[in-house]
Amino acid sequence: MNMHAKHSADATTVEEGLAIQEEQAKFDDDFATETAMSNTLLTPRFYTTDFDELDAIDVTSVRKDWDALIAQMESDPNKGHFKKNEDWDHVDWDGMEPQLKAEFIDFLISSCTAEFSGCVLYKEMKRRGSNKDITQLFQLMARDEARHAGFINDALREAGLRVNLGFLTQSKKYTYFRPKFIYYATYLSEKIGYARYITIFRHLEANPEHRFHPIFKWFEEWCNDEFSHGEAFALLMKTDPKLTESFANKLWIKFFLTAVYSTMYVRDHQRPAFHAALGVDPDWYAHEVFTKTSVLTGQIFPLMLDIENPRWQRNLERMQRANVQIAQGKKAGGFGGFVKRMIGSARAGAAFVSLYTIPAIKHDVPDSTVLRPAY
């Protein structure tokens, strides 16, 4: 195969997409890879699970919707889309305000890591499984995530950076999650990913003067991929009603919603210059994304977080301040830094408990999970 003639956007399988990127790996950058390697509560992680249990899923009860979704993914509307073309405006990296540049690069590296984390998990499921329905789905999702990660790496390369995906696969720590936690966490990250990308895309459509980098022009098709992946996980969860109906699992769902929403809030508030350049107030953005994600996840989750409750915003802000304190403690080092970090951690924990104990809003889940991207 002539790797130079091909781009990861044109790859039809995950293996091909990764091989093309592997070929470019000689230009990798240590800084970007180190950033992607870091494991904190706020950075994207790599997951592993009980693949046999996943492989045993029987999709018969959702067959009609399943086949329609797989057919749409197989038709591959975004093949060839994730690469630079004439819409890719020149990026003046050297002229970019340093704080914005640092935050934007951090955003790109963390997005690339998150895309690649999905790619690795899905590819592994496809490799280990023997259930045709499951392996086919995971192959298709891994294909998409490899393209997404490849495209972000294209953008990073212009800034002289690049995440070494092969190295990450081998060296980054993997967190084990039981399959049901993978469903909740991955389903949520796909749907919140859709909500995040479409909110930025619509905002920049209305305010193009804030589009400081061309990658945002690609967000619409991008988020449609994530939307489909979320649909697939909704169907997988639908095959086992216990997953969303038992008392204990409802508590887990609430836990994952609270953890994913609050992590996003804290992480986004670490990038003030990035949001200012986009012309987006991070509090407005968080509220928008939570609102959309709550509506979407109503397709399968029997509860929504009460984000209008006054305790919600108040404790997000507490958690954010606690996080600043933890970061200051880390930076300061020594005994004083340690104490500061511990106090910050305790405060963040208390804020999380307060968020988690806000009564949730119960609702009836529709018979069919099927949704269309409507935002």
Structural tokens at position 166: 């092969």
Residue 145 binds Fe ion, judged by CB under 5 A: yes
Smaller CB separation from Fe ion, 226 or 288 = 226
Contacting Fe ion within 58-77 (CB under 5 A): none
d(CA 275, CA 212): 11
Closest separation between CB of residue 221 and Fe ion, Å? 11
CA distances from 57 to 208, 233, 236 (A): 45, 12, 8
CB of 90 to Fe ion, least distance (A): 26
Backbone φ and ψ for 269, nearest 5 degrees, come out as -75, -5
Question: Which of 143, 147, 148, 180: binder of Fe ion (CB under 5 A)?
Answer: 148
Cα–Cα separations (whole angstroms), residue 323 to 108, 169, 214, 326: 21, 29, 31, 5
CA angle 191, 197, 202 (to 5 degrees): 125
Which of residues 143 and 148 has its CB atom nearest to Fe ion in the complex? 148
Binding range to Fe ion, per CB under 5 A, among 120-128, 145-153, 202-210, 302-310: 145-153
Distance CA 134, CA 236 (A): 9
Which one, 148 or 318, has the nearer CB to Fe ion?
148
Residues in contact with Fe ion, total (CB under 5 A)? Answer: 6
Residue 190 Cβ vs Fe ion, minimum distance, rounded to whole Å:
5
Binding pattern to Fe ion, positions 85-124, x when CB under 5 A?
------------------------------x---------
Of 103, 133, 226, 231, the residue at the interface with Fe ion (CB under 5 A) is 226
Q: For the chain, how big is the Rg over CA atoms in Å?
A: 20
231 is a site residue for Fe ion (CB under 5 A): no
DSSP helix/strand/coil, 175: strand
Our CB check for Fe ion shows the closer of 190 and 288 to be 190
CB of 206 to Fe ion, least distance (A): 24
Minimum CB separation from Fe ion for residue 108, in Å? 14
Cα separation, 31 vs 37, in Å, equals: 10
CB of 365 to Fe ion, least distance (A): 22
Token pair in block for residue 62 = 């959702």
Nearer to Fe ion, 256 or 312 (CB): 256
The single residue among 203, 213, 229, 341 that binds Fe ion, judged by CB under 5 A, is: 229
> Phi/psi zone of residue 134: left (φ > 0), alpha (ψ -120 to 50 degrees), beta?
alpha
Cβ neighbours around 336 below 10 Å, total:
10
Q: Dump strand ranges (E) for 319-362.
A: 361-362
CA distances from 123 to 44, 134, 180 (A): 17, 11, 18
**Beta carbon nearer to Fe ion, 267 or 269:** 267
The binding site for Fe ion (CB under 5 A) comprises 115, 145, 148, 190, 226, 229
